[in-house]
Amino acid sequence: MVRSAVRVLVQGKPVDSYPALPPEAERGSPRRITEVGEEVLRRSCREVTEFGTPELSALIDDMFLTMYIADGAGLAANQVDVDLRLFVYDCPDDHGVRHIGHIINPVLDQPDPAHRLLIEETEGCLSVPGARMDVPRTDRTVVRGVDKDGNPLVIEGTGYFARCLQHEADHLSGHLYIDRLSKRDRKDALRQMADRHEEVLARRVEKAKALGHQLQP
């Protein structure tokens, strides 16, 4: 199935159409998603120094498939227990444009405080399954990095896509979105996770099965 009615940007460049399930996900194998409380989510990830390798391509493929199985809009490498500065995304912005790609060694270029507009909207995280809380984020951002072959990338995001880019960049610095919450709201998020954890993981098992893969429940 090809989405032709929605504009699509792949690695920041426009394309006429793109499959609902990208080729990377078709090639990938599912990986376990790490959860809040695991040490790998709490340390800054290492810079990627080797590019164009089969191992790096396979990791990106696996991350795409894992993200789709979990119905995510983005996924950082430490969410599959790999402490490298890399994330993948398939995320709409507020204008209905679909953004798909990966970025390695990303650096956020945020607007200066005088021109920064904070928007508070609901946010979730695949590593805090089942929880949704309001989090303030800037309404636009720019991420600079490279692709898997070492070619430079500049990805601009607005609205929900800007939120996604900031969320994933936080992961690579060892931060979760619940770190931006008050102590009371953080407890609420963890309570939501405890209540919905089994249900969320069961949905992932079913989604994997529908895509021809098998996950441990």
Task: Tell me the catalytic residues.
Answer: 168
Listed in sequence order, the residues at least 6 apart from 79 whose beta carbon sits closer than 8 Å to its beta carbon are 33, 34, 41, 126, 127, 171
Chain-centroid distance, C-alpha 99: 12
Distance between CA atoms of residues 59 and 68, nearest Å: 14
Instruction: Reduce the DSSP state of residue 112 to 3 states and report it.
Output: coil
Q: Are 126 and 70 in contact (CB under 8 A)?
A: yes
